[in-house]
Amino acid sequence: MSGQKTLRTYEPLGHALGLLATLGLAWDEIVFSRHVIWHLFKRDFVAQFRQKIMGYCWIVIAPLMGIVPFVFLHRAGIFNPGQTEMPYPVFIVMGMGIWGFLTSAFSVVSGGLQNNQDLIMRTNIPKITFAITGMANLLYNLVVHCVVVAVFLLVMGKVPSAWAILYPLALLPIICVGVGLGLMFSVIGTLARDLNSIMATFLNLLMFVSPVVYQPDFEHGFLKAVTIWSPFTYLVDCPRTLFVAGYFPHVQGFIWATLFAVVVLFFGIHSFYLVKDKVAERL
């Protein structure tokens, strides 16, 4: 009959993916979108230094400026960081740099969907592409960080250990924690956008109960328990000691902390794919 309307019904064809299937799907989508990730990385990398007087020098200057207050307080005798087996400026520049990878990974991944919402609405590119595109910039900063630390050690009269070549691998667990948390909050942040800021603030506070700017030397009590059981104690201190002294101070603790990082990453990927299809309607 002419003028008759047709009612079309949509039904789900698939089912909820398990953990392993989710990981496989994430890998396939990342490989499929590798060229998009590269072009978005170049766009964001150039944009962050555009119209800045110091330009690309900020890659080196910014982390060094972050350690100046702590070094000053230490030299003035106001702040006691405890007994460190390396010069305190070296200790803190590495600690702040390592913690910076955690917070940076969280920030770039958790804000990836919101920062690229126009592309998400207009294209059919896998959403995980926009969530992790900032990771390319983070990996570049990792290379710069290693070079800066090596030069800083030489200036302070210290020579990096032969095991420093494994330093980037030792940093992967703490980066995985940042990525996993970022994936969780990237989709949560589209529902409640203030949660990302709350989590970023919490990570900054968590730094002060981790051996980033001081060497914990608690004999007993609650603070000692927090230090011993916190995975961040080992994720920060072990890579730093490996780079300078050439050994892992807490092998068992680092192994358990690495397993914790893997669990956070896998759970982050799985949770991302559970709710990613709701992202477009919330942006």
Q: Is it the case that residue 81 has pLDDT exceeding 80?
A: no
Whether 254 contacts 235, CB under 8 Å: yes
The whole-number pLDDT of residue 245 equals: 84
Give 200-239 pLDDT, tens digit per residue. Answer: 889 888 888 888 877 776 555 677 777 788 899 899 999 9
The total of structural domains in the chain comes to 1
Q: Is residue 13 part of a domain?
A: no
Give 44-69 pLDDT, tens digit per residue. Answer: 766 666 655 555 566 666 666 767 77
The whole-number pLDDT of residue 170 equals: 92
Q: Is residue 72 part of a domain?
A: no
Q: Is residue 180 part of a domain?
A: yes
Confidence of residue 257 (pLDDT cuts 50, 70, 90): very high
pTM over 0.95: no
Q: Is residue 175 part of a domain?
A: yes
What does the pLDDT average to over 116-145? 77
Domain residue limits at 30: 19-45+54-65+83-282
Q: Is it the case that residue 26 has pLDDT exceeding 80?
A: yes
